[in-house]
Amino acid sequence: MQKTIRIKNLDCANCAAELSEELAAIDGVDEAFADFINQRVKLVYRSDEALEKCVSLISHFEEVEIVDGNAPQKKDFHIKETVSIGVSVLFFVPALVLMLTGANEWLVFGLFLASALAAGWQVVWNVILSVPRMFKGGFHPGVLLDENLLMTVAAVGAFAIGESMEGAAVMLLYQIGELLQNIAVGSSRGAIAKLMSLQSDSAIRVTADGQEEVSPEDLLVGDVILIRRGDRVPVDCKLTEGETSLDTKSLTGEAYLREVGVGSELLAGCVNEGNAVKAAVLRPCSESAVSKILELVENASEKKAKPEKFITKFARIYTPVVVLLAVLLAVVPPLFTNFNFPEWIARALNFLVISCPCALIISVPLTYFSGVGTLARHGVLAKGAVGLDVLARVKVAAFDKTGTLTEGKFSVSDVKEGGHVLKMASAAEKMSSHPLAQAFVGIDAPIPTSAEEIAGKGILAVVEGKRILVGSYRLMQEYGIEAEEAETPALTLYVAEDGKFIGSVEIADRLRPEAKRALDALKGAGVKKIAVLTGDTEKRAVGVLGGLPVDEICAGLLPEEKPLRAEQLKSAGTLMYVGDGINDTPVMAAADVSVAMGGLGSDAAIEASDFVLAGDDLSALEKAVRGARKTKKIVTENIVFSIAVKAALMALSVFGLIPLWAAVFGDVGVMLLAVLNSLRMRAKL
């Protein structure tokens, strides 16, 4: 069984890792993932008893609260943290003034202690709560060894050696840093929460009795709905009456309006900026484009990139090691320096504070999360951070032709040898799952008594007692049927009846209007080579793709040959494959990273891909590549910067060259700079 529990007040990646570990240790729980970015816990469990234990643990974990999934999310103004910091400052400033003027030491000590308690009481309380939790379901030292313990030890140690001002400064500066961090993380959460507004709360269904307002979840395929000016399209539907303009920015990232008329498909999440229109529901609400967006973006944080996984493991090992080193620093050197314990304890406390890995633990996941959110704003849905790392290295892009570079909306443009040919072809194609069968929808034809798909070539059917063969010229040759190959760049289906060629049908399909612009932009983003993999003949492929900046056309490929060709293309660099159909899933698996067309794409292609183009707009690919490279760059900057500055400050603390308050300031400063650098992902690509 699976369950997602909405929570609040889980504002630390390290705390999320601890909660995940504790939940996973409960008997009957197979998987547990606490997501501090999306504020939820996902569980896979085997019994109601296990679920009850999980709920109890979550409810008693630090300040975490379970919230009703149906309740509106209130904006967090961080009142409690702000009040704590304000009260702490009210004690800290007078204490500092009195200390500088030489006032009574005990009065100064009392004021600094009050300042420390006002700012850090929650930190100390979290440490106390962690002690019994450390022994639940075994021994989990990582539960205790976190930043709360580091700051508590540093503050208590400072007061113990008579440095009360530094002890108060530790807690005050740490809480200020935590507040600023929470505000920054909350800002990123707000970017994702904004995506939730893509969902419409209601829809107007048109019935024989008039109109009724219903929930989008209650709409059925075929229902007719009214979409007024300013309404958000509630579900994927097809326009049946009227003409209007659609604002598709929320899905595609493009600001221009799209003109639509009868027969046009409207994707959920778009806004009607023109006339009131009527449309027929194409897909249930749960299968709409906007549902795919929300599901993919919400689940993206579960698939972590290698740097994220490294940082999580690194923090688990790193924190206990630095605590041990701090203890050794406080105890061993004084044995050889006239037992000068206070001085070395102060250095050890500095070392302990600076060693806190908050900058890495927070900034790296936040950068990937911001990257996923930024790509979603441009109509590119990432299934996880792991795909961003691969996409950042792409050097070769391969495309399917039909339905990807072309619109994939087929129609019969010409028939050779009369209506009987069209009738037989239409009858056979009624039993085909190939996209080309769309061209024959609505044409009156008998239903075949049997049919057999011939992968990548055509279909063999029995119609009115006659053996009908419809497919490529290659198919005619394989069955020994004499036919003359058509001298045309149009897609041609050859038709044979009882072993004799009777004619052909030409199918029209147009290039996507944005195809050339999109491929040019992709090359401008650093992609060195663009190839097209297609089952069409080379002559037809060249005719259709003429004018596109394509470096190589791999034509005449059967479905099983596409993955082999993809493997060859990978020798030129990291390969991205873009496709739309069920036949593309093998080559998607062979590519380093894959992209599916979200609107026209099959469910199998979307499932197999790493990214989805929500609005079927190829122009978004360039944004995806640039966004992935920017994400990777910022992650690298944060890792290098944080480790370099931390190492320098730790070295200075060992030699006693910086006071404790400066160590805290340095730790908070590094963390804030890393977080702010992460938020650069939200800027324009």
Cα atoms found within 13 Å of the Cα of residue 618, Cβ hemisphere only: 27
Question: CB of 154 within 8 A of CB of 170?
Answer: yes
Does residue 528 contact residue 521 with C-beta atoms inside 8 Å? no
Task: Answer yes or no: are the C-beta atoms of 503 and 417 closer than 8 Å.
Answer: yes
Amino acid at 396: V
Instruction: Give the dihedral of Cα atoms 304, 307, 309, 311; nearest 10 deg.
Output: -130
58: closest CA among 4, 127, 135? 4
Query: What angle separates helix 306-331 from helix 341-354, to the nearest 10 degrees?
Result: 180
Residues 142, 18 contacting (CB under 8 angstroms): yes
Distance CA 358, CA 318 (A): 12
**245, 204 contact by CB (below 8 A):** no
The identity of residue 612, as a single letter, is V
E strands, 401-465, where? 411-416, 450-454, 458-463
Strand ranges in 598-640 using DSSP code E only, listed in sequence order: 611-613
Reduced DSSP (H G I as helix, E B as strand, rest coil) percent helix, strand, coil of the chain, to 5: 50, 20, 30
**Is the torsion defined by CA of 358, 362, 364, 365 positive or negative?**
positive
Residues 6+ apart with CB under 8 A from 496: 468, 469, 470, 476, 479, 481, 483, 502
Please confirm, yes or no, whether 617 is among the known catalytic residues: no
Reference 290, options 222, 194, 218; nearest CA is 194
- How far CA 651 is from CA of 123, 329, 648, 661, in Å, comes to 27, 12, 5, 16
d(CA 268, CA 261) in angstroms, rounded, equals 16
Q: Which of 344, 314, 400 is nearest to 596 (CA)?
A: 400
Catalytic-labelled residue, pool 231, 236, 400, 610: 400
Strands 611-613 and 593-597, sheet pairing: parallel
Q: H or E stretch including 579? A: strand 574-579
Q: Which residue has the tokens 């930043």?
A: 147
Structure tokens given for 109: 């000590």
Catalytic residue numbers read: 400
